[in-house]
Amino acid sequence: MNTATLEQVLAATGYLPDGRPAPGLRLGAEAQSSRHGRVFVPDALWRSASSLTVYFKFEQSAPADDLVSQWRREVWNEGFAPLLWVISPQGQHLGTISLPDLPANFAWGDDDGRTLYCLTAPSSHAWHASQAPLGAIHAVHVDTPHAGLP
């Protein structure tokens, strides 16, 4: 992405008000060095104090579906949002599951293999380990044939 276009997008979305970066905005090499992924390289990113991350990426032409699927797999859990994206093996977004707290682990279960058990917790910070248990297990039935099956 050229600098002028990136700055225009960032200004229009409120991340570069009056030409000055909003707190948490990282551009170019600083944004790229903030990620340790293998495939996805952002042009810019904004990270909140809670680690919620918004990425900006520009390609001259539409990227291949396989590449977009790789990007999604790399970045889906980098922010701390209590969401789970359900993606088909073909890369189709089938739905989004909203959870009451941050997802920590998942397992498929039940006889039909279509119930997703989600372990959630309000925080993964070490100091919470000394507190009373706050996590929960949620069962979500996924209405997609062969969900959870190889």
Higher pLDDT, 43 or 50: 43
* Measured distance CA(22)–CA(103) in Å, rounded: 28
Q: How far is CA 42 from CA 14, 46, 74, 80, in A?
A: 18, 10, 12, 18
Q: What is the mean pLDDT of residues 85-90?
A: 67
pLDDT above 80: residue 118: yes
Residue range 123-146, pLDDT digits in tens: 544 444 455 566 788 888 877 666
Q: What is the domain partition of the chain in residue ranges?
A: 1-80, 82-150
* Measured distance CA(30)–CA(23) in Å, rounded: 14
Residue 110's region, left for phi above 0, alpha for psi from -120 to 50, else beta, is: left
pLDDT above 70: residue 8: yes
How high is the pLDDT of residue 125?
A: 46
How high is the pLDDT of residue 26?
A: 92
* pLDDT grade for 25, boundaries at 50, 70 and 90: very high
Q: What is the mean pLDDT of residues 43-65?
A: 81
